[in-house]
Amino acid sequence: MKIEERRARSPRGSLSVPYSLVMPPSPVQPESCILVVPGMTGPGYPRYLPIFEAQGKYIADELGQACAFFSVMGQQGRAGRYSFPAACKETLAVAFSLESLGYRVALLGRSGGCSVALRVQQDCRLTVVSTLLWGAIPRKFYRAQLVSGSIKGVQEDLKRKGTDVAEDFRQTIIFIEDEMVAAGGRAWFAVGAEDEYSSPEDQIEIMRLARFSTALFVLQRCTHSVSPDCPGWREYCELLGWWERSWPVLDD
């Protein structure tokens, strides 16, 4: 694989988003690029960077597709404050940049980035090949943490992981259940059986509340972050392969 450092810019220049583009070893540009939408902790956090890099390496070397990942403003390595609307705008900017390079774009949402991915998928200016949601955070988790819990405690926890959140962060949350309805349930769902923030039952409840039936994959021995040293890492990579092979084929 090879990694290129690029920058996505909005048409009016109001956004400038650095991102990493992982390419297969072949000199021929692949048809598609998987854009990884980070949760509230981005790849700038030292513990998470190896996860994003290993994921990109598998996608490039084994699937033959490109992979792009980035940190949202407010996450480690980026100035500003994190919010869900900001994450949507920056994800769109990177997606448009990839399209301008000639790629079909597929979205891989992780954790809190799942609802962002579904919101971006609905933008009529963007054509999304497919969307895979890993470890989607249910509404009840946010309510427990931010409504009955302490917003200050949540801010401090995210700060320890390199993320500064907006003062009105609570009001910016985009709930996965709402986005499922708006997106028409067009996504694959997957979760680790050892996920610390969600569960297979939570994912089923998300689908039930959204009144949509879609594919749900439960991977044994996988945690929420599913790092390369996780016992279920190989199964997670195989899931990415199944998902990629389900995409519609381009006409010759």
The pLDDT tens digits of the residues spanning 50-86 come to: 999 999 999 999 999 999 999 999 999 999 999 999 9
DSSP string, 115-177: HHHHHHHT-TT--EEEEEEESPPPHHHHIIIIISS-HHHHHHHHHHTT-PBPTTHHHH---HH
Q: Where are the beta strands (DSSP E) in the chain?
A: 2-9, 16-23, 32-37, 66-69, 104-110, 128-134, 188-192, 216-219
For range 93-121, the mean pLDDT: 96
CATH topology of domain 2-245: Rossmann fold (3.40.50)
For 198, the 3-state DSSP assignment is: coil
Q: Token pair 């769109």 is at which residue?
A: 92
Which pTM does this prediction carry?
A: 0.94
pLDDT in tens, 31-56: 999 999 999 999 999 999 999 999 99
Residue 148 in this model has a pLDDT that exceeds 60:
no
Q: How confident is the model at residue 167 (pLDDT cuts 50, 70, 90)?
A: confident
Q: How confident is the model at residue 202 (pLDDT cuts 50, 70, 90)?
A: very high
d(CA 48, CA 58): 16
Residue 155 in this model has a pLDDT that exceeds 80:
no
pLDDT computed for residue 229 by the predictor? 93
pLDDT computed for residue 122 by the predictor? 93
Number of H helices, E strands in the chain: 9, 8
Buried b (16+ CB within 10 A) or exposed e, 169-189: beebebbbbebbeebeeebbb
For 109, the 3-state DSSP assignment is: strand
Residue 147 in this model has a pLDDT that exceeds 70:
no
Residue 23 in this model has a pLDDT that exceeds 70:
yes
d(CA 73, CA 19): 12
For all residues of the chain together, what is the average pLDDT?
A: 90
The one-letter amino acid at 6: R
For range 110-115, the mean pLDDT: 95
Of 22-31, 96-105, 180-189, 218-227, the least confident:
180-189
pLDDT computed for residue 150 by the predictor? 61
d(CA 113, CA 133): 8
d(CA 53, CA 25): 15
Q: How confident is the model at residue 211 (pLDDT cuts 50, 70, 90)?
A: confident
pLDDT computed for residue 27 by the predictor? 87
Residues 121, 245, 39, 137, CA torsion sign: positive
d(CA 25, CA 42): 26
Q: Token pair 């540009």 is at which residue?
A: 29
Q: How confident is the model at residue 199 (pLDDT cuts 50, 70, 90)?
A: very high
